Amino acid sequence: MADTRRGLRLGHVILIASTFAIGGGGVAAEVPTVDLTSRTPPDITTVGDDPLGKRVKYGHALVTDTANQIGPTVSDPAMRYSGNSLNCQSCHLQAGTQAYAMPLVGVWGQFPQYRGREGEVTVLETRINGCMERSMNGRALPFDGREMKALLAYMKWLSTNIADGAKLVGAGILSVKEPGRAADLRHGAKVYADFCAACHQDNGLGQRAERGAGYQFPPLWGPDSYNNGAGMGRLLTAAAFAKHNMPVGTTFDAPLLADDDAYDVAAYINSQARPEKSNLERDYPNRLQKPLDAPYGPYADGFSEEQHKYGPYEPIRARMRELAAQSKSSK
């Protein structure tokens, strides 16, 4: 059933793509734009108790209370899918609704999509399991399991009235301006002490929730944090998230951290010990599609792992452009 549904979704995307290109040199249909920065997300309290509503609400619980639902300390060992006690909304803030905080709103209509990490067109289920195995340092959810169906239902509900393939303003995270140098870990440590330690603690291990599993403020390193294969383990990703969302309560339109501060504190955080994911060499089968700040090899460009982790990135970027041009000309 799940394979059939995914096949239909893929076929639907292909059909949409084919209608955008009309004949030879025809006019492409306009892609709708949805501004998540001004859009009011749907209210979970309005969801009913019919079977679909219950599934949506369970998906909401999985995002907001992951540790108590499928975390490493739940009573049923078979339900221990997450390997740490983070919640999905530790990164996807406000239950996945905050603009430029990796929102889940509209994500439903963006898949299937090609992703360089896998080197193929993937479905949303695969993307979710990427988070489970990396950010949550756990194991994959069964595609046909109750938990995966609930997460999909929640994401679809969040995407109500957003057209498939829409351009989403407020999706992902805003970038930071790179300082054109390697990260300064000593300065990053000072930024951490000044802006982050009050919530995440001097030792980076966070503050536990008053009741149940999970955290009021999640750990940023250590054994209960994301592993080195997670997207947040990349300096530029972590810096962008920190600038536009941290300290807690910050939003993209009123950042507190300067670009240099965010760059250095992200490097400092990611320089700390954390779980390691196996088989990372399988990521990005086309090495030319590997992000500049991927903190693990192998690489196509000849630069060191140290420079990929901490910059500067412009020399790497220039070399990657050369390699891409050479690859194109050889075809």
pLDDT band at 167 (very low <50, low <70, confident <90, very high): very high
Tokens linked to 135:
């950010």
Are residues 184 and 72 part of one domain?
no
What pLDDT shows up at residue 30? 87
In a domain, 1, yes or no: no
Q: Percent of the chain having pLDDT more than 70?
A: 92
Burial class (CB in 10 A: 0-12, 13-18, 19+), 4: exposed
Are residues 247 and 224 part of one domain?
yes
In a domain, 13, yes or no: no
Question: Domain limits at 279?
Answer: 174-331
Q: How many Å from the N-terminal Cα to the C-terminal Cα in the chain? A: 40
In a domain, 188, yes or no: yes
Q: Specify the CATH number for the domain of residue 140.
A: 1.10.760.10
Question: In terms of DSSP bridges, do strands 120-122 and 113-115 run parallel, antiparallel, or are they unpaired?
Answer: antiparallel
Question: Residue 118 carries which side chain, given as an amino acid letter?
Answer: E
Query: b vs e for 7-29, b when ≥16 Cβ sit within 10 Å of the residue's Cβ?
Result: eebeeebeeeeeeeeeeeeeeee
In a domain, 314, yes or no: yes
Are residues 326 and 180 part of one domain?
yes
In a domain, 16, yes or no: no
- Tally of domains within the chain: 2
Domain boundary among 169, 203, 237: 169
In a domain, 4, yes or no: no
Are residues 207 and 193 part of one domain?
yes
In a domain, 2, yes or no: no
Domain boundary among 124, 148, 169: 169
Are residues 220 and 154 part of one domain?
no
In a domain, 64, yes or no: yes
pLDDT tens digits for range 109-135? 999 999 999 999 999 999 999 999 999
Are residues 304 and 186 part of one domain?
yes
pTM equals 0.91
Are residues 163 and 41 part of one domain?
yes
Are residues 193 and 321 part of one domain?
yes
Question: Does residue 7 have a pLDDT over 90?
Answer: no
Are residues 213 and 127 part of one domain?
no
Question: Residue 146 carries which side chain, given as an amino acid letter?
Answer: R
pLDDT tens digits for range 250-269? 999 999 999 999 999 999 99
Question: Residue 160 carries which side chain, given as an amino acid letter?
Answer: T
Question: Does residue 225 have a pLDDT over 60?
Answer: yes
Are residues 208 and 148 part of one domain?
no
Full 3-state SS string of the chain = CHHHHHHHHHHHHHHHHHHHCCCCCCCCCCCCEEECCCCCCCCHHHCCCCHHHHHHHHHHHHHHCHHHHHCCCCCCHHHCCCCCCCCHHHCCHHHHCCCCCCCCCCHHHHCCEEECCCCEEECHHHHHHHHHHCCCCCCCCCCCCHHHHHHHHHHHHHCCCCCCCCEEECCCCCCCCCCCCCCCHHHHHHHHHHHHHHHHCCCCCCEECCCCCCEEECCCCCCCCCCCCCHHHCHHHHHHHHHHHCCCCCCCCCCCCCHHHHHHHHHHHHCCCCCCCCCHHHCCCCHHHCCCCCCCCCCCCCCCHHHHHHCCCHHHHHHHHHHHHHHHHCC
Are residues 219 and 274 part of one domain?
yes
Domain boundary among 151, 169, 187: 169
pLDDT band at 330 (very low <50, low <70, confident <90, very high): confident
Are residues 219 and 121 part of one domain?
no
